[in-house]
Structure 1
Amino acid sequence: MRPAILPASLLALVVASSCSSPSSTANEVGATISADSTVATAPQAPANSPLQIVAAFREPQIVGVAVLPDGRVFGDFPRWDNNPINPVAEIGANGSVKPYSDANWCTWNETVRNEPQKHWICPQSVYADKTGMLWVLDPASPNIKGTVVGGPKLVEIDPKTNKVTRNISFSESVAARKSYLNDVRVDTEHNYAYITESGIGALVVVDLKSSKARKLLEKHPSMLGDTTLNIKADGHEMIDPTGKKARFNADGIALSQDFQYLYWKPLTSYKLYRIKTEALRNATLTDAQLGQQIEDLGKVPACDGMEIDAQNNLYMTAFENHSIVRRTPAGKIEPVVQDPRLEWPDTFAFGPNGMLYITNSAIHKTATWNKGIGRQDQPYHIFKMRMAQ
């Protein structure tokens, strides 16, 4: 089945945004919508939509998704304004949620405050690498109000045993108290991990052989959100409780199939950038020298999540018009699907049998961006759609 294609006239440069904003929600999957929420009519699926529902969660808010080669699905539910019981979970075929890697890792309360490296504090990203290993990125910043000392980490789990095989802790020189580690990609050929840091605006490069991490290009223009933009969703301008317009720094990230290029973009920006990973791995290069190697790839939608397929098409979530688009290797922006249920399409994962998985996190309808009143009108979802082979 081929994905539904939007008419080119509907594209006109769609605009989108990030997976790094808190929401006021309840604590458990299956919880009803909060009493202070304004419930509207939930968006309905178009008759020809290729999106299939994998799982639906009334609460808490899902952000990330990862899919293994065998089809196992994982999600993460960050501790923003709520306290999910299973912040990292394996999602069953019936939409059930199982704590991952176990209930102890999912526990974060006063009884375990002295061991922040052994528990999910505010996991932001789950990612399956090309070898089938699962990675969890934990910025350890509940409600995005500052990191827990000793908490920021990148954790590798072997899904065959469901055991942690690597746990890399980040010092404050890499993950400062105001940082928010956002998304990760793993280069299994050179044994490196690349991470966007959206709190301050930077990249973090991790040598997985030595577990040493370096923060690069901090506050470089390519890392910072554009302060002149008025990001909207559903025609609603994003304004926080203090009256400030939404501004999100480096967020979406993708790694080319041959591991030669890293792509990223600030969320509130229409610019896409890339750099050769060889440069990022060269510890002798200064930020100034790295900056000279950054390529500005021109105008694209403001977007949250990004992913690259086997043909090196770059997929982007475009939330202002409930869409997914892709950028071809030649630089052409093509529509992929539009569906009103894609309320803030957030994160991608490719699975077996040509399936593309997508979460919708409805960030723009959470209380943070609606004067304290949650306006979610449908469950959060994991969708999937079959891509042309």
Structure 2
Amino acid sequence: MPLPLYSSPRILAALAAAGLLLGSCSSPGNESQSIVAAAGPATPTSPLQVVAEFTGPQMVGVAVAPGGKIFACFPRWDYNPVYPIAVVGPNNTLTPYPNASWCTWTEAVKNEPQNHWICPQSVFADKAGMVWVLDAASPGFQGTVPGGPKLVKTDPKTGQVLLNVSFPASVVPTKSYLNDVRIDLQNNYAYITDSGTGAIVVVDLKTSKSRSLLGSHPSTKAEKGLVVKAAGHPMVDAQGRPAQINADGIALSTDNAYLYYCPLTGHTLYRIKTAALRDASLSETQLAQQVETVGKIPASDGLEIDAANNVYITSYEQSALLRRTPAGRIETVAKDARLQWPDTYSFAADGNLYVANSAIHKMPTWNKGVEQPHEPFRIFKMALPKKKAPSK
């Protein structure tokens, strides 16, 4: 069914007032009052191709499985999406993933938070072809639903749920917002950014046990005093408070040895050895000593790494896709006015780079309560020049 597929744009506020923080994604509901601006022209030399576009609801993530199947993520923020996780088909059509039941979050299923998408924030395809969904379970950023935060592994060929990791409140408290995830197949671990509390959550996928780490370290925190801008628009709320968003972007080096990450409100890229994150014997102080400052970067939402260990940056300040080379040089991959808050990357098996834009700077939160006109939420792709991996 083509989009728009979502309920009234302020349904989450009403649900919060009712104490439910629930919604339905089993029917389209009312059409949105979202204001869609006339589409801006592509930069003449832009390498970006539009794969799909939606007037709503707000999309934040994209993942491409090895077979070419495209997945999109629509969190329950200001809107109530019909399909929070969906397979993207021809002509902007969406199919609920893994099925309609998982996409339902209503009063009738409130006692089954582990088996329904509440507020999924990230969808990720690993190198073995499995698709993972990270559910922050904090609709409207109103706090985590008890029993709701989870990491779910699925088989995209069958839609079967293969693993369902629940996070205890001791690891993911009420103020947490699980943001992005990377899967380390070599060591059977998952690494997750928590942009709510400011931490890195690690998961032993063999046991489903998890730990929240670096919660007191500045690398996982928003840089104080920094006012970031998106396409020139200051990210300040109605009370005049600058956006202070903690650890967000995350990426694994090609050998799984290092985890790279950055706060969304920040201009610094960090990394840490994944072996240190997996070592439960390290004290908080010892672990903090393992954090490395990689260097300065433009403010970024999503990160990814290619075979040559270039770190790709979604520069929402510049409406651009950038990359930081191993030598520390910042290169422009694409700059296009249609990149209204580039959010999440995904590398496809055919070498194309996919990216989703989320227009976060157009949300009411950052515009004195009034949503601003925005272009459609789009999934783009572009071909990257083939480069040889650096010699050992």
Do Structure 1 and Structure 2 share a fold, with TM-score over 0.5? yes
Which of residues 259, 264, 267 is equivalent to 1:262? 259
- Equivalent residue in structure 2 for 1:122, among 119, 122, 143: 119
Matches within 5 A, 1:1-389: 34=33, 37=35, 40-389=37-386
Deviation at 1:330, TM superposition (A): 1.5
C-alpha distance 24-268 of structure 1, shift in aligned 2 (>3 A) = farther
Distance 1:291 1:136, change over 3 A: same
* Number of residue pairs matched by the alignment: 365
- Residues 219-275 of structure 1, C-alpha deviations (whole Å, 9 max, x = no match): 310010012111111211111133211110000000001100000011111111001
* Residues 1:359 and 1:314: Cα distance change in structure 2 (over 3 Å): same
Q: Structure 2: how far apart are the matches of 1:268 and 1:129?
A: 27
Read off the aligned partner of 1:249 and give its amino acid letter. N
Provide the TM-score with structure 2 as the length reference: 0.90
Contact 1:354 1:386 in 2 (8 A): yes
Two-structure CA RMSD over aligned residues (Å): 1.8
- The CA deviation at 1:41 is 4.3
**Counterpart amino acid of 2:331?**
E
Secondary structure of 1:279's match?
helix
d(CA) in 2 for partners of 1:353, 1:293: 35
| 373-382 or 132-141, which deviates more | 373-382
Change (3 A) 1:32 1:340: farther
Is the CA contact 1:261–1:276 (under 8 Å) kept in the aligned structure 2?
yes
Distance 2:68 2:305 in 1: 18
The alpha-carbon deviation at position 30 of structure 1 amounts to: 12
- The answer for the alignment partner of 2:15 in structure 1 is none
Q: 3-state DSSP class of the match of 1:321?
A: coil
- Residues 362 and 371 of structure 2 are in contact (CA less than 8 Å); yes or no, is this contact kept in structure 1? yes
1:33 deviates by 5.6
Deviations 1:57-84 (A, max 9, x none): 1010100111011110001100011110
> Does structure 2 conserve the Cα–Cα contact (< 8 Å) formed by 1:29 and 1:57?
no
Q: Share of identical aligned residues, percent?
A: 58
Q: 8 Å contact 1:30–1:57 — kept in the other structure?
A: no
8 A Cα contact 2:43 2:335, kept in partner = no
- With the length of structure 1 as denominator, give the TM-score of the two structures: 0.91
Alpha-carbon distance between aligned partners in 2 of 1:355 and 1:284, rounded to the nearest angstrom: 40
Query: CA deviation digits over 1:333-364, x for unaligned, max 9?
Result: 11111000000000000012210000010000
> Offset at 1:43?
2.0
Say if 1:57 and 1:310 are closer, same or farther in 2 by CA, change over 3 A.
same
Q: Please give the secondary structure, in 2, of the residue aligned with 1:377.
A: coil
Unaligned stretches of 5+ in structure 2? Answer: 1-7, 12-24, 387-392
Q: Which moved more, 1:115-124 or 1:233-242?
A: 233-242
Larger CA deviation: 179-188 vs 225-234: 225-234
